[in-house]
């Protein structure tokens, strides 16, 4: 006698909106991924990178916008995908509304923590690539390694240390050295 397959629950945006105040989760293809509160180093990296990227855009009189988390991204413009990347860089500003972004940011940076590593390097890597993100960085403060994925051209995909000058795939002339941003 064969056992029936379990029907996995498919979650929607309704579940995200029903979460108690202060509880955060992401929704990827109907699956829930709970989010842990960020620690101090995470926040320092997020703030420093956001500021450096925004300053670069401003210096070039660019129109792209930088949004640190929490910022709502409706990746596939459906009710089964909702993420809050640590940093979202958005150049298609016509896709912005009061709730957040409908579609894929041009550049996403995730700052890995022990609890999020498997999602950042696995599920999100695949999801961001297929959703149309052009550039994805995974910054790992524990190993001091940055994985850069150039989904648009595949030229600058590489692994860097915090001491390296890391070139942006999206913005010509922008290179960031994380070692300078952190104590």
Residue 8's pLDDT band, with cuts at 50, 70 and 90, is: confident
Task: Note the pTM of the prediction, 2 decimals.
Answer: 0.93
Residue with tokens 């320092």: 44
Cis before 70 (ω within 30): yes
Residue 9 class from Cβ within 10 Å (0-12 exposed, 13-18 middle, 19+ buried)?
Answer: exposed
Question: Can you give the pLDDT at residue 3?
Answer: 59
What is the reported pLDDT for 77? 86
Extended beta strands in 69-164, E state: 73-74, 87-90, 101-102, 107-111, 135-140, 145-150, 158-161
| Residue 181, pLDDT score | 78
- What confidence tens digit (pLDDT) does each residue in 58-113 have? 999 999 999 999 999 999 989 999 999 999 999 999 999 999 999 999 999 999 99
147-178 residue pLDDT tens: 999 999 988 899 999 999 999 999 999 999 99
């Amino acid at each position: 006698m064969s056992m029936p397959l379990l029907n996995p629950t498919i979650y929607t945006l309704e579940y995200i909106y029903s979460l108690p105040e202060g509880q955060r989760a992401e929704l990827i293809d109907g699956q829930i991924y709970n989010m842990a509160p960020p620690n101090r180093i995470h926040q320092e990296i997020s703030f420093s990178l956001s500021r450096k990227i925004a300053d670069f855009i401003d210096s070039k009189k660019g129109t792209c916008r930088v949004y640190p988390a929490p910022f709502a991204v409706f990746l596939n413009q459906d009710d089964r995908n909702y993420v809050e990347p640590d940093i979202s860089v958005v150049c298609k500003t016509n896709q912005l509304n009061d709730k957040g972004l409908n579609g894929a940011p041009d550049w996403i940076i995730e700052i890995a923590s022990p609890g999020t590593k498997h999602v950042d390097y696995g599920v999100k890597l695949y999801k961001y690539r297929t959703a149309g993100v052009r550039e994805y960085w995974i910054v790992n403060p524990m190993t001091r390694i940055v994985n850069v994925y150039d989904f648009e051209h595949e030229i600058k995909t590489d692994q860097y240390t915090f001491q390296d000058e890391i070139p942006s795939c999206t913005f010509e002339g922008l290179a960031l050295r994380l070692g300078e941003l952190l104590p």
